[in-house]
Amino acid sequence: TILYAFALILLILYIFSCLALELVTKHLRDNEKVGDIVEQHFKNLPITMLSLTQFLTVDSISAMYFPLVKEEPILLFLFLPAILLISVSLANLVTAVIVEGAIQAGNEDAEVLRKYQHYEFLQILPELKRDFK
């Protein structure tokens, strides 16, 4: 269900946030060029998770990760999987869950319609038998 998809997104955001805190904060906090970005986006776990939520919506993420990767190229191995996994894969997962729910609702509607038509047929069956006797 959609609840499991959101739980999976939250778990992956938590994992990437922990990795980002270890890799970004410890190495680049005192850096003059990117220290402000680190302080703004990677201060603690909740702020890091909120910052990485931008990866889900792909909302101005290059302003966050590009200067960091430029300063520390190894961070590409953190941010590239985060972009691919969070934005592409999980967004497709949520879409798939929504589409599956819509298909299931459509199938249930068709089943209800079939039962209603059968009920109507049973209601007029005695009249048909009498008229064609």
Counting every residue written for the chain, the total comes to: 133
Residues whose CB falls within 8 Å of the CB of residue 49, separated by 6 or more in sequence, listed in order: 13, 14, 17
CA distance 67 to 49: 19
Question: In the chain, where does DSSP find H-type helix?
Answer: 2-20, 26-28, 35-41, 45-57, 62-71, 76-82, 91-131
Contact 61, 71 (CB under 8 A): no
pLDDT at 33: 87
65-114: pLDDT as tens digits: 899 999 889 999 988 898 888 878 777 887 888 898 899 899 889 889 89
- pTM summary value: 0.69
* Residue range 15-71, pLDDT digits in tens: 999 999 998 888 888 888 888 888 998 999 999 999 888 887 777 888 888 999 998
Tokens 């069956």 — which residue? 125
